Structure 1
Amino acid sequence: MRILLSNDDGVAAFGLATLFNSLEGTGERIVIAPDRNSSGLSSSLTLGRPLRVTEHPNGFHSVDGTPADCVHLAVNALLDYEPDIVVSGINHGANLGDDVLYSGTVGAALEGRFMSQPAIAVSACGKGEQGFITAGRVVRDLILKLGQQSLPAGTILNVNVPDLSYNELQGVAVTRLGHRERAEKPVKVFDPRGKPAYWIAPVGKEQDAGEGTDFHAIAEGYVSVTPLQYDQTHHATLSQLSEWLGD
């Protein structure tokens, strides 16, 4: 198996190195990741300038662009083969509920949706080293199981791992996305010249976090695995909208 690894925390991130090491023996691994922290860039592509690729002493490659740029370049230009699967992570912090709309970790996985196996976005719901090690073992387990399964084309798996040791995990829960409350207001600051600027504030608190959601699974000590698709059509509304517009 040929595994393309990327992330949004940057090529030097601990989570990426942990992921690379955790997948030793599962197949050929190649790393193509942003040259800096690119959190919150979702699926954005760089269209206004050319992109540059740098090879590092450890064999990893970095791109001076977004997470989606990295996967796009890898699949369409840099590799002389098509990888079997894209794994993005291990993200420093959770990507739960509405977070997936903004996440560069998820964006990189979505860019890999054309692969023969479902792409995986994986996040450690904590900042401690143990959580990353656990997440690495979880992804290894998933990849080995995916080789024996068939999921719909275009599927990606959004995986969140609680901040626990591997042996403390309660299991794996297949979940839906929960939802957050509206984000807090941006924080207004002033630069040294007195001009206003704004910091984007933290995300909103959990709102829809009941049983069956990714939020609930993490709170109960389970690994959350949520299948996502790039088709954002609200199919249940098609007939209603057609009637309303007189189609």
Structure 2
Amino acid sequence: MTSSTLKTRKKKSQPLILLTNDDGIFAPGLEALARELKKKYTVRIVAPESEQSAVGHALTLTQPLRVKEVTKNGRWYGFAVSGTPADCVKLALHELISPFPDILISGINMGPNVGVNVIYSGTVSAATEGAMMGLTSMAVSINAFHTDRFEGAARIASDLTDRLLQTPLPPGVSLNVNVPDLPLSRIKGIRIVRQGTFRFRERFEKRTDPRENIYYWQAGILPPPEEAPDTDHALLSEGYVTLTPISFDLTHYPSLNRLSHLTRKLAVKK
């Protein structure tokens, strides 16, 4: 491939799967996922050129997005983008991948994306962006910050892909998948669960540089599970794969009527 022929084609007999992540194009989780999916599908990778963890749904608006073609072992591997995961999805669907993919998968992320932490997640935001653009999308994460055990999560993602191709998600909905860092034989099962309220505890390390200037490293602490047993964090911690359908509609519908008193006697017309 050359920079003048960035658009790619799929084999007519195979669904086209778009892969991205927030750990960067050289992340082992992404490579394991691509390797597994290529057994059955046409796979195209458009991922950040460097790690973009916890960038959320950020977009690059103040500088250009640059695309590089990446090869591995002498073979074409994917597109590396100088932007965020959401940038990668937008650019892939508008410029780099043709025809429109059948499914988008973001991952496999190093570290869980559960509870309110999904708000910060570039992995989950990439899947959300896919759903916003009308594409069946899922985010896949493993419950470990240091591991080389991605094969099980890749197998689970492949099986879920089979099912989502048969029965796509509702419009505007993406699937947040979290997998225990365990051999497949030790995983207890799969549960469809709600998102919990778990979050990392804030902690900052205060340091001083050689010029006596103070600076801080943000270092969140992972607390033990303290949630109701039907949440993503609790069941993931017990050894279950968790599936949580999520939406980019952040409206709290029960409050629409409850807050009507706020509009009374305001200096504007209703």
| TM-score (structure 1 length as normaliser) | 0.94
Instruction: Using the TM superposition, name which of 166-175 and 109-118 deviates more.
Output: 109-118
1:74 aligns with 2:86: no
How far the C-alpha of 1:135 sits from its partner, in A, is: 0.5
1:120 aligns with 2:138: yes
Percentage identity across paired residues of the two chains: 41
Letter in 1 for 2:183: S
Instruction: Using the TM superposition, name which of 203-212 and 93-102 deviates more.
Output: 203-212
Residue number in structure 1 paired with 2:243: 225
Residue number in structure 1 paired with 2:111: 93
1:25 aligns with 2:44: no
Residue number in structure 1 paired with 2:123: 105
Stretches of structure 1 that go unaligned for 5 or more consecutive residues are none
Residue number in structure 1 paired with 2:177: 159
1:243 aligns with 2:257: no
How far the C-alpha of 1:208 sits from its partner, in A, is: 5.1
Stretches of structure 2 that go unaligned for 5 or more consecutive residues are 1-14, 265-269
1:26 and 1:144 in contact (8 A); partners too: no
Pair 182,62 (structure 1): closer, same or farther in 2 beyond 3 Å: closer
Instruction: Using the TM superposition, name which of 194-203 and 219-228 deviates more.
Output: 194-203
User: Among residues 148, 151, 159, which one is paired with 1:129 in the alignment?
Assistant: 148
Pair 114,244 (structure 1): closer, same or farther in 2 beyond 3 Å: closer
1:137 and 1:166 in contact (8 A); partners too: no
Letter in 1 for 2:195: L
User: Size of the alignment, in residue pairs?
Assistant: 246
- In structure 2, distance between residues paired with 1:243 and 1:3: 48
> Deviations 1:186-229 (Å, cap 9, x if unpaired)?
22212221111111121452565221101121122110101100
Letter in 1 for 2:64: P
How far the C-alpha of 1:137 sits from its partner, in A, is: 0.5
2:116 and 2:199 in contact (8 A); partners too: no
Residue number in structure 2 paired with 1:62: 80
- In structure 2, distance between residues paired with 1:185 and 1:214: 23
Give the secondary structure class of the aligned counterpart of 2:171. Answer: coil
* RMSD of Structure 2 on Structure 1 (CA): 1.7
1:36 and 1:64 in contact (8 A); partners too: yes
Pair 105,208 (structure 1): closer, same or farther in 2 beyond 3 Å: same
